[in-house]
Structure 1
Amino acid sequence: MMTNDEIQASTDHMMADVRAYRLSRVLAMLRRSDCSAILLYDPVNIRYATDTSNMQIWSGRNPSRYVMVFADGRVIGWEFHRCEHVWDGIALDFELRSALGWTFFSAGHDAQQRAELWAAEIADVMRCRAPGELRLAVDRLDAVGAACLVRHGFALMDGQAMMEMARTVKSSGEIALIGESLRACEAGIERMRRELRPGITEQDLWAHLHHENIRHGGEWIETRLLASGDRTNPWMHECSPRMLRQGELLAFDTDMVGPHGYCSDISRTWTVGDTRPTDAQRRLYERAYSQVHFNMDLLRPGMAFREFSEKAWKIPDIYVTNRYSCVAHGIGMVDEYPSIAHPIDWHEAGYDGVFEAGMTLCVESYIGEEGGSEGVKLEQQVLLTRDGCVPLTECRFETHWL
């Protein structure tokens, strides 16, 4: 048995490898795009590139910290007020500066003036670190900031596309961290199952997932998608004070950002009171289960997104209107590229690409008849290997209903 010191040393070594791998992916995308630097505001992208995190939900709404990564590996971090400590222990070639906030919340009616000062500093950094370079990738930038950089002569590139592509293929260390997040999520799901009973409210039940996430070092939950009874159809009702009733369906989608900032995205459907499902409930469940597992068996590296969409399980006509928004999607720190559209939606929402080994994906299903009284939501998180899909969670399906 390993000692605590040995466990910590092993964890530190793994985290060092994960950080190096993720940064190398960002640098490779910059070089491939012939771009000297990327300016990051999205807290998830900053976490991916530097493994620093600071009030992610708040800073996602309030652009208050930002990072520039250069193609040669140097990093400049502009950190929020007196928060330099969030960089402690980060083994990067980085320089820290104080962030300049120029949103209306931060600057009031001086926002334009502050934005000009901000852009001047960015331009000065680029002149010093990448002389003569006018191509700058940005992931998320308000119109005022973008206009200021353009006035300084910069040609802005789509940094979000670069970061999405960088994040696509996971290292073995990342898979291990995703596993830690999923174990926390599974603990929350099991707690919900234990507490599920007639009379509890949807909100009270959902709180048990939050409890286990925070207790295990997780971070936040992106949605509140838990619904019961007739609120399961159509899907996308968020949890409410409604009290659960014996024998009705209860469905949820975890969307949980857990330990180390990795997302656990699992959907399951149960009956309240663990009752035997009605024939109608069982038929819905069988079709959702079939959709998820048929599509898991279909997925292979090298397959084009469009081919997968066209060959995917055919949704019976009575359920097409209420179909889920995609067939499958990437998953990492949050929902990621790609999002695979249904054939019926391909003209408006589809785009092509190729699946690669090392992608982590969520295979989706929602089955509910338009105007029906209930619906079933299922989703499985998987790793795509050279041989096909491997489930990343052991969270059980209700196979005894089939």
Structure 2
Amino acid sequence: MAERSSSGNFGRHRKIMPFEPGGSLPPNSVETLSRKAREKAAALNQHVLGYGETAEAEWVAAGIPAPDLPAMRKYRLDRIRAELKHRDYAGALLYDPVNIRYATDSTNMQLWVAHNPTRHCFVATEGPVVLFDYFSCEHLSDHSGVVDEVRPAISWMYLYGGELTEKRVQRWAAGIADLVREHGSGNSRIAVDHLDHEGVAELARLGISVSNGEAVMENARLIKSPDEIRCMHRAIVSCEAAMAEMETALKPGISENELWAELHRGNIARGGEWIETRLLSSGPRTNPWFQECSSRIIEAGDLVAFDTDLIGPYGFCADLSRTWLCGDGKPTDEQRDLFRIAADQIAHNTELMKPGVSFRDLVERSQIPPPDCFPARYGVLYHGVGLADEYPTLPHAADWTDDTPDGVLEPGMVLCVESYIGRLGGHEGVKIEEQVLITETGNQQLSSYPLDARLLGR
């Protein structure tokens, strides 16, 4: 399969399996067999096969059209390169698998490479996108149309390098420095999201200056295109379908872990990717918040609260929270009161979200928990969301410090609105969270899973 380029001919690119498109090769040569194997593997890539009948039927029923993925990928690269130009960088070196996903729309063992740096990507400001992938994985990005070249990654983690790590660092850095010199037009400054000190030092020895790549990527990811919103909306629909299956399974006698597994199952069945946390608790474990799910058996009359933190189809995050009442009984007055406070806070704070509103003004005007619940408040009122939780994070006004960044809400931003309500020293607590798009005229709530009507008093 010929390498595809969205950026033109960049000359001296070292392909993993170089050959001339259209050229003839011996039918049983290693090159021919390798090419055929790569073509077969690329055609069977999970992102090419799609998400399956269950997810597709749910998206059709929800009336969400399919995204234009090639347009979305081009939009993302344009966003990255605009940030690089604005900050005068020759390119970006990316290790975070979420940032690599944003730049290339390709995946490979996402959680494993998040803590084992064996996959990285270089995006030249004026030049190619070069993906350094795990051994024999060049076929995993063939579908994207935006990766110009794939090279084998040189990993210098101790697992591979042992006491010879320094030599591996030197070999790795030489390849990065060559790319910068070739495509930087004399600019030796690059943005890097995550890099250990050995790499920074060796690049500096070779004349390459390293700066904060998180600033580049978070600002690139801040404004979503219409196609990204379609992807995100589809991920939320899939998440909420899995939540419905989870709610059906909620019966007295089920353990927290067993209930949480239903969300995982529903996400994976619809082509989702992973869940970032284990935030589900029941009864007395709901106060204070942030207990991870356990073997506790859920009892009739318990509140069950959870935060999905789910990376679903297309790699988009569906970050929703709900609190349910277990069993067929009626809630207590205290349970209804806590739920009403949380629901009112979410409704009030969502109404404030409009383009042109500053972060500080949004925080100052937001509704906060009452005094007996304020000490146990959630850590933030709002936070950005896209392929994962993203910039900005907006605390309560009382928690705003002189190093809290201000900004302005803009159309295309998506934020989650958070509420946790539990009395200090109380028995239970309530967690609710919605995902909201900032539009040209106001906002659109993307999440739609109904709140528990019994807890609302209906």
Measured against the shorter chain, the TM-score band is over 0.9
Matches within 5 A, 1:238-257: 238-257=292-311
Q: 1:319 to 1:63 in 2, by over 3 A?
A: same
Q: How does 1:32-47 map to 2 (within 5 A)?
A: 32-47=86-101
Structure 1: how far apart are the matches of 2:263 and 2:135?
Answer: 32
Contact 1:73/1:93, CA 8 A, preserved across alignment = no
Structure-2 separation of matches of 1:274 and 1:42: 45
- The answer to whether structure 1 residue 344 and structure 2 residue 404 are counterparts is no
CA deviation after TM superposition for structure 1 residue 165, in Å: 0.5
- TM norm structure 2: 0.84
Task: Give SS of 1:163's match.
Answer: helix
Letter in 2 for 1:21: Y
How far has the Cα of 1:89 moved from its partner?
2.0
Deviating beyond 4 angstroms after TM superposition, the runs of 4 or more aligned structure 1 residues are 10-13
Any conservation in 2 of the 1:288–1:365 contact (CA below 8 Å)? yes
| Structure 2 counterpart of 1:63 | 117
What is the percentage of aligned positions where both structures have the same residue? 46
Q: What is the CA-CA distance between 1:389 and the residue it aligns to? A: 2.0
How much does 1:207 deviate?
0.4
Larger Rg: 2
- How far apart, in 2, do the equivalents of 1:337 and 1:143 lie? 25
Distance 1:284 1:381, change over 3 A: same
Amino acid at match of 2:382: A
Q: Secondary structure at the match of 2:356?
A: coil
- What residue ranges of structure 2 are gaps of 5+ in the alignment? 1-52, 58-63
| Contact 2:90 2:183 (8 Å CA) reproduced | no
What is the TM-score with the length of structure 1 in the denominator?
0.95
Q: Could you tell me how far 1:12 is from its partner in structure 2?
A: 8.3
Q: Which of 145, 148, 157 matches 2:202?
A: 148
Residues 383, 274 of structure 1: CA spacing in aligned structure 2 closer, same or farther, 3 A cutoff?
farther
Query: 2:425 & 2:65 partners in 1: Cα distance?
Result: 51
- 2:74 counterpart residue number: 20
CA distance in 2 between counterparts of 1:386 and 1:97 reads 42
Give the SS at the match of 2:72: helix
SS in 2 for 1:357: coil
The aligned runs of 1:2-401 (5 Å cut-off) are: 14-92=68-146, 94-347=148-401, 350-400=404-454, 401=456
Give the letter for the 2:272 counterpart: G
DSSP 3-state at the match of 1:27: helix
Inter-partner Cα distance in structure 2 for 1:95 and 1:77: 6
Question: 1:350 deviation in Å?
Answer: 2.6
Cα distance in 2 between the residues matched to 1:61 and 1:36: 27
Give a deviation string over 1:68-126, Cα, whole Å, max 9, x none: 00112521111110000101122126111110010111211111221111111111221
The count of corresponding residues between Structure 1 and Structure 2 is 395
Is contact 1:22–1:49 with CA below 8 Å preserved after alignment?
Answer: yes
Which runs of 5 or more residues in structure 1 are unaligned? Answer: none
Partners of 1:300 and 1:207 lie apart in 2 by 37
Residues in 2 aligned to 1:313 and 1:93: alpha-carbon distance in whole angstroms = 46
Q: Is the 8 A contact 1:341 1:349 kept in 2?
A: no
> How has the CA–CA distance of structure 1 residues 184 and 122 changed in structure 2, closer, same or farther, with 3 Å as cutoff?
same
In the alignment, the residues of structure 1 paired with residue 65 and residue 194 of structure 2 have an alpha-carbon distance, to the nearest angstrom, of: 32
